[in-house]
Structure 1
Amino acid sequence: MTPQQVVLTPTALLLDWGDGAVRLTHAALRGACRCSQCESARRQGHPLALSQDVRIVRLEALGHYAVQLVFSDGHDRGIYPWEMLARLSALALQVSAST
């Protein structure tokens, strides 16, 4: 599943999956990173100390399956498959519907 449109705003990544755009904040995406460094920290019980001010400074397409996000804190190892971003989008929609 690939979004129909991807828009990087100053505070969020907007993904349009065909039924409306979903907003995922830069900080939420940084916190969802699944690179080996972030996963290791989680497994060792060390929560990621993330600033809400972290920003995506660059977005790079990786074929048709993912994007790599480069963050203002220098972190550039996270690969975000469209499937993962679709799951995060669904969760964001559930949260917004329940509030």
Structure 2
Amino acid sequence: MAGLTAETPHPTAVTLHQASRLLEIAFADGASYQLPCEYLRVLSPSAEVRGHGVGNEVLQVGKINVNIKAVEPVGHYALKLVFDDGHDSGLFSWQYLYELGANYESYWQKYLNELAAAGASREPL
């Protein structure tokens, strides 16, 4: 996780919409994103999801109904998202949240393609 630099986008507002399962985040450069809880969960920067190196990623399945229970600031550089399935180990840096928002369509499609290739589902078992 890269440290803060002058180029790191800084959030101006973070709002959790639990009813619609969205995390809304606005940045100082004017960018604003509504990121689904499921999207954030399956792309968590945690070792549980990313593995401990390239090729060790763990495909997250059955997360369509996941929600965020809590949003906790971590210093001045990240958020800890506490999901209702018990997952809470990923620290989402401002840079990573910005990247997730800016690349939502391509990252989400890649995830859907990986699910299809694995014969897996977004639906819980």
State whether TM-score is above 0.5: yes
In the alignment, what sits opposite 1:81?
93
Counterparts of 1:16 and 1:45 in 2: how far apart (Å)? 29
In the alignment, what sits opposite 1:24?
35
The offset of 1:45, in angstroms, is 6.1
Which residues of structure 1 form unaligned runs of 5+? Answer: none
Tell me how large the CA RMSD over aligned residues is: 2.3
Higher helix share: 1
In the alignment, what sits opposite 1:53?
65
Counterparts of 1:21 and 1:46 in 2: how far apart (Å)? 29
User: Which residue type is aligned with residue 22 of structure 1?
Assistant: Y
Contact kept in structure 2, 1:5 and 1:16, CA below 8 Å: yes
Identical aligned residues as a percent: 27
Which residues of structure 2 form unaligned runs of 5+? Answer: 1-8, 108-125
Aligned positions, number: 95
The offset of 1:17, in angstroms, is 1.4
In the alignment, what sits opposite 2:80?
68
Contact kept in structure 1, 2:48 and 2:58, CA below 8 Å: no
**TM-score under structure 1 length normalisation:** 0.83
Higher-Rg member (1/2): 2
**TM-score under structure 2 length normalisation:** 0.67
